[in-house]
A and B are shown apart, each in its own frame.
Chain A
Amino acid sequence: MHNIFKKTAIAGAMCLAAGAALAQGYPEKPIEVIVGYSAGGGTDVMARTAAPFIEKYLGEGASVVVKNVPGASGQIGVTEAANAAPDGYTLGTFNLPGMMARTIDRKADYDRDSFTYLANVVNDPNVIVTSKKSGLDTLDKLLEEAKANPGAITVGMSSLGGDDHFALIKLQNATGTEFTIVPFKGSAPARTALLGGHVAMGILNISEVAEFQDQLNVLGVATKERSQFAPDLPTFQEQGLDLVNGSMRGFIAPAGLPDDVRQKLMNAFSQLSGDQEFLDAMAATANPVEVVIGDDFKQLTSDLYDLAKGVWETTPWN
């Protein structure tokens, strides 16, 4: 009897030691980050730009390897990340509101509880732009025209059920206006149609119009404060319109990540926002940084899920 207790005690102690060793030694092998898009896309570039900095802050010779699993607007990759072993060696990139909207508009093998939320890193706010040909060069003129002729203004955007779409819904609800949505396949074709005057207005992201400020009218930015990325552009709140919306990219791990591993990763991510070298590298690749850590990131995801769900219930997009 005594013997059994002793054995149990030893076994227990060994388990504890192993657990401690797990976090102590973490990471003791390469950490894989699953990116749901092809190499060279915005999310991929974010992951690859951030990887060396995460390595630096994890210390202990950590190595981060990016793996591209493209397909189905990132759904294949994020599903793989959700189903991976929660040991801290498989992370994934996460896009908002897209990843949550996909759980609403089609069958998804994950939901908002499938993840351990580590950090949101990029927040690319929406902007409203108009074509030079449209003559609608201020927010007031635009809204006046939209009220006078409901549905007459065509709005180019990158897709339905994405951040651009939600921004437009918010705009319509806030101002009691109605627009005609023209969903292109991606924001570059939408921007080109705007440059050519084929659509009158566009909802894009600030990183996508920063280089085109002379060719388009940028009417405002959907942030609370002016974006560091283009500080000369006014926000909507400055113009009396409460419109805050954007596209976000961050990092998640599968649900059930051990607390100490999670803590270690969150520590590393939280140091990114103070690293000037990192901020410069992100600015050069059109990624406006806004780091949101752990539970705040989880709350952000929840809020966006509720928003998408609400929009879906009143105006489903497919």
Chain B
Amino acid sequence: MYNDLLHALPNVFALTNFIAVVIGVIAGIVVGAMPGLSATMAISVLVPFTFGLEPLVALGLMAGIYNGAMYGGAIPAVLLRIPGTPAAVATTFDGYPMAQRGEGGFALQVAVVSSSIGGIASAFALMLLAPPLSRVTLLFGPSEVFWVAVFGLASIIFLLGGNPVKGLISACFGVFVSVIGSDPIFGNDRFTFGRLEMLDGINIVILLVGLYALPPVIDLLETPLKTDGVNSSKLGTESIWKALPRMKSYWKTWLRGSLIGIWIGILPGAGGSMAAFMSYNEARRTSKTPETWGEGEPEGVAAAEVANNADTASALIPALTLGIPGTAVAAVMLGGLLVHGLQPGPMLFRDNPDIVFGFMWQFLFGAILLVLLGGSLATNSFARLLNLPRPLLGAVIIVLMLIGVYTIHGRMFDVYLMLGFGAIGWVMDRLKFPLPPVVLGLILGGFAEENLRLALRIGRGDPMILFQNTTSLILVALTIAVIVGPTLKRRYFDSRMKM
């Protein structure tokens, strides 16, 4: 196998194949940076065109787009508090406060270096450990996956801080949105009001764009004369060589975030946003100065960005070996592979080693190229946007949002839905309800429901099926720890203070 890996290398450096990765990375960054356009969409638009391309050109484009977009999402997240992709939600927590302080340039540099490191770690996991890691995926049947989803929801509500009651209400709203559409087992319509457009449920991008992009845009339009922070139009960028030494203390966060990202990637369904949240939570929990998190702590940006890139290549592990994609993007990429006659399964690596291993190399080079291309592209071009008059910037973003949402399925219905979510998001923002639990509620809620019901069918109605093996029990214990942990910790410290 490692022999095949080396054999595939020369072909990757063929001029057209290499250029494909470069173009992919640049396109990915641009797509990721536009609110409403996501990697999933870019790749699904690309798939029909790849019929006429050489396999490695097509796959190189996709690998590049995936890596680029996962970082590109950080650019508007840092500069405008608008996550460009679902996975960049956690990047807004500290990235935006940094930009307001006039350190936007450094935040973007941290983001690009972290993204690149995460991508490289993930590519290595895919190249070297795909077969053993796919066996881990097999351990997760419906009841285990249900607990992963519950654990994810509990972490986001109880660990992100702030008011857990408001967090819970936000998460419930997200879970409610996940219920819309045909139910996962019987296909009964729920809250669709007879509209075929609602049958497949609410696309995550529609919700994200509405909730996250519309309120800041309204702010931009509302206050044409003042800027939201005195320094936010200055980036304070210094050369990357000066910035790098400031990041060397993040190595632990990078390592932890990479492992979390790879781990979430090989589990079906959850994807980049959950990876970024968990990495952020863990990094804050172990930080010596947790109180600075959320106020513009560069390590927070590092934690989120390393993890959302670390799940890119690893999401392809179950996709290539088992045919179950770890993320929505990997799902679309599977289509792109099928177009070229690459059918997922254990035979794939044996039948088409040059292409499959070449594709893996392309992931690695895509991640490396990110530092070279991403840093300068972001700071030199996108950041200029901030010098635009605010109402103009707001108008540009609204146009991008409308185009992005319209192109998901090519229908106006989605645009109206997005505007509706925008109104809800604006109200929630004003009432200080946290928005991240809504996003994760939608992603994990449907996932939890589907797997709970599958597990109960397997157990023929007996709920004990949910507690029958070690993996499930570990996840239950982790969930309980997440819920009661913070309270116990506070009690413990309080009693020590009294003594």
Task: Identify the A interface with B (CB < 8 A).
Answer: 38-42, 44-45, 48, 66, 68-73, 75-76, 79, 105-107, 151, 154, 159-161, 180-185, 188-189, 191-193, 195-199, 208, 210-212, 214-215, 284-286, 317-318
Evaluate whether A214 and B199 lie within 8 angstroms (CB atoms) in the complex, with A40-B47, A71-B409 already known. Answer: no
Q: Which of A40, A70, A193, A197 has the most CB of B within 10 A?
A: A40
Among A48, A185, A210, A285, the residue within 8 A (CB) of B184 is A185
Q: Are A180 and B460 in contact (CB under 8 A)?
A: yes
Chain B residues 311-368 with CB under 8 Å of chain A are 318, 322-324, 332, 334-336, 338-339, 341, 343-348
Q: Are B139 and A196 in contact (CB under 8 A)?
A: yes
For residue B141, which residues in chain A have a CB less than 8 angstroms away from its CB? 193, 196-198
**What is the CA–CA distance of A57 and B336 in the complex, to the nearest angstrom?**
27
Q: Are B458 and A154 in contact (CB under 8 A)?
A: yes
Task: Identify the B interface with A (CB < 8 A).
Answer: 44, 47-48, 51, 137-142, 182, 184-189, 194, 196-197, 199-200, 268, 318, 322-324, 332, 334-336, 338-339, 341, 343-348, 409-410, 450, 454, 457-458, 460
CB distance from B347 to the nearest CB of A (A): 5
Closest to B457 in A: A182
CB distance from B16 to the nearest CB of A (A): 22
For residue A69, which residues in chain B have a CB less than 8 angstroms away from its CB? 410
**What is the CA–CA distance of A180 and B457 in the complex, to the nearest angstrom?**
8
**What is the CA–CA distance of A69 and B410 in the complex, to the nearest angstrom?**
8
Among B137, B336, B339, the residue within 8 A (CB) of A192 is B137
**What is the CA–CA distance of A160 and B141 in the complex, to the nearest angstrom?**
20
For residue A39, which residues in chain B have a CB less than 8 angstroms away from its CB? 44, 47-48, 335
Evaluate whether A211 and B348 lie within 8 angstroms (CB atoms) in the complex, with A39-B47, A183-B185, A188-B324 already known. Answer: yes
Among B47, B189, B457, the residue within 8 A (CB) of A106 is B189
Q: Are B197 and A154 in contact (CB under 8 A)?
A: no
Among A48, A106, A188, A214, the residue within 8 A (CB) of B346 is A214
Q: Are A48 and B450 in contact (CB under 8 A)?
A: no
Q: Are A71 and B200 in contact (CB under 8 A)?
A: yes
Q: Are A41 and B335 in contact (CB under 8 A)?
A: yes
Q: Are A285 and B322 in contact (CB under 8 A)?
A: no
Evaluate whether A160 and B200 lie within 8 angstroms (CB atoms) in the complex, with A44-B335, A193-B142, A214-B346 already known. Answer: no
Q: Are A196 and B138 in contact (CB under 8 A)?
A: yes
CB distance from B160 to the nearest CB of A (A): 29
Evaluate whether A192 and B324 lie within 8 angstroms (CB atoms) in the complex, with A75-B196, A160-B185, A185-B184 already known. Answer: yes
Q: Are A285 and B44 in contact (CB under 8 A)?
A: no
**What is the CA–CA distance of A70 and B335 in the complex, to the nearest angstrom?**
14
For residue A215, which residues in chain B have a CB less than 8 angstroms away from its CB? 346
**What is the CA–CA distance of A68 and B343 in the complex, to the nearest angstrom?**
22
**What is the CA–CA distance of A19 and B405 in the complex, to the nearest angstrom?**
43
Question: 29 interchain pairs (CB within 8 A)?
Answer: A38-B44, A39-B335, A40-B334, A48-B339, A68-B48, A71-B199, A73-B199, A107-B194, A154-B457, A159-B187, A160-B185, A181-B457, A182-B454, A183-B454, A185-B184, A189-B268, A191-B323, A192-B322, A192-B323, A193-B141, A196-B140, A196-B141, A198-B141, A211-B344, A215-B346, A285-B339, A286-B343, A317-B186, A318-B188
CB distance from A202 to the nearest CB of B (A): 12
Closest to A105 in B: B187
**What is the CA–CA distance of A196 and B139 in the complex, to the nearest angstrom?**
6
The 10 closest A-B pairs by CB, nearest first: A40-B335, A211-B345, A198-B141, A284-B341, A196-B138, A318-B186, A188-B323, A72-B199, A39-B47, A40-B47
Closest to A159 in B: B187
**What is the CA–CA distance of A111 and B207 in the complex, to the nearest angstrom?**
34
Closest to A199 in B: B458
For residue A45, which residues in chain B have a CB less than 8 angstroms away from its CB? 335, 338-339
Evaluate whether A182 and B196 lie within 8 angstroms (CB atoms) in the complex, with A105-B187, A196-B138, A284-B341 already known. Answer: no
Among B188, B196, B336, B454, the residue within 8 A (CB) of A40 is B336
Q: Are B324 and A189 in contact (CB under 8 A)?
A: yes
**What is the CA–CA distance of A154 and B457 in the complex, to the nearest angstrom?**
8
Q: Are A198 and B458 in contact (CB under 8 A)?
A: yes
Q: Are B48 and A151 in contact (CB under 8 A)?
A: no
Q: Which of B185, B189, B409 has the most CB of A within 10 A?
A: B185
**What is the CA–CA distance of A285 and B334 in the complex, to the nearest angstrom?**
12
Closest to B325 in A: A188
Q: Are B341 and A285 in contact (CB under 8 A)?
A: yes
For residue A180, which residues in chain B have a CB less than 8 angstroms away from its CB? 457-458, 460
For residue A44, which residues in chain B have a CB less than 8 angstroms away from its CB? 335
**What is the CA–CA distance of A212 and B348 in the complex, to the nearest angstrom?**
10
**What is the CA–CA distance of A72 and B197 in the complex, to the nearest angstrom?**
7
For residue B139, which residues in chain A have a CB less than 8 angstroms away from its CB? 196
Closest to B334 in A: A40
For residue A318, which residues in chain B have a CB less than 8 angstroms away from its CB? 186-188
**What is the CA–CA distance of A201 and B209 in the complex, to the nearest angstrom?**
42
Q: Are A48 and B457 in contact (CB under 8 A)?
A: no
Closest to B461 in A: A180
For residue B184, which residues in chain A have a CB less than 8 angstroms away from its CB? 185
For residue A75, which residues in chain B have a CB less than 8 angstroms away from its CB? 196, 199
Q: Which of A48, A154, A196, A215 has the most CB of B within 10 A?
A: A196
Known contacts A182-B142, A188-B324, A195-B322; 9 further A-B pairs (Cβ under 8 A)? A39-B335, A48-B48, A159-B187, A185-B450, A196-B139, A198-B141, A211-B344, A211-B348, A214-B346
